[in-house]
């Protein structure tokens, strides 16, 4: 029983309030109230990522023993998954199929079909999923606040149930 989490980053591991706080912190030289609350992706447009949200992601991985496949624009080049893994202290196994011309969701479905040993899956992405996709029941969509505790629990619950196509 193998499990996979398809990970988007922007608006999942950060949100607009994170950007405001992090950029304010950068202007102050790292000595303000937001000090230590963010990791800055210097090779990813200086985008801030919330340590709190990364810790929620880590709790999903710990609770479910899932692998991570990157589906974000952060995963454009072959070694980006290794750089993100090192930056966040998580293991991103590989980059999803969207980099080879598949759309994000059709790429997730194709990946699952090519890896039948993965019986449990969740797609963690802020982009809305159309109703016609077979992945609708395994999509967790952060809206506004990024990865909240409630959404992390939703991911855990989904990963604890087999993924099925109907």
For every residue of 43-57, DSSP letters joined together read GGTTEEEEHHHHHHH
Q: Which two tokens stand for residue 16?
A: 């607009």
How is the chain split into domains, by residue range? 2-13+49-159
Residue 120's beta-bridge partner residues?
Answer: 3
Instruction: Describe the crossing of helices 149-159 and 51-64 by its angle, rounded to 10 degrees.
Output: 20
CATH number of 2-13+49-159: 3.40.50
H helices of the chain, in order, are: 16-28, 51-64, 80-88, 104-114, 149-159
Instruction: Print pLDDT tens along the chain (166 aa).
Output: 899 999 999 999 988 887 777 777 667 665 666 767 888 777 777 788 899 999 999 999 999 999 999 998 888 888 888 999 999 999 999 888 765 666 787 888 889 999 999 999 999 999 887 655 667 788 899 988 999 999 999 999 999 988 764 4
**pTM of the predicted model, to two decimals?**
0.89
Q: Which of 137, 99, 94, 100 is nearest to 6 (CA)?
A: 94
């Amino acid at each position: 029983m193998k499990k996979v989490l398809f990970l988007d980053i922007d608006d999942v591991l950060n949100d607009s309030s994170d950007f405001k706080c992090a950029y304010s912190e950068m202007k102050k030289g790292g000595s303000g109230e937001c000090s230590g609350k963010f990791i800055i992706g210097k090779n990813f447009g200086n985008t801030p990522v919330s340590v709190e949200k990364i810790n929620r992601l880590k709790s999903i991985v710990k609770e479910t023993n899932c692998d991570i496949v990157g589906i974000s624009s952060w995963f454009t080049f072959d070694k980006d998954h290794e750089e993100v893994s090192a930056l966040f202290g998580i293991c991103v196994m590989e980059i999803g199929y969207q980099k080879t011309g598949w759309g994000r969701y059709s790429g997730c479905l194709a990946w699952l079909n090519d890896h039948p040993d993965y019986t449990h899956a969740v797609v963690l992405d802020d982009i809305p999923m159309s109703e016609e996709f077979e992945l609708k029941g395994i999509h967790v969509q952060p809206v506004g606040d990024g990865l909240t505790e409630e959404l992390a629990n939703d991911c855990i619950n989904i990963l604890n149930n087999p993924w099925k196509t109907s």
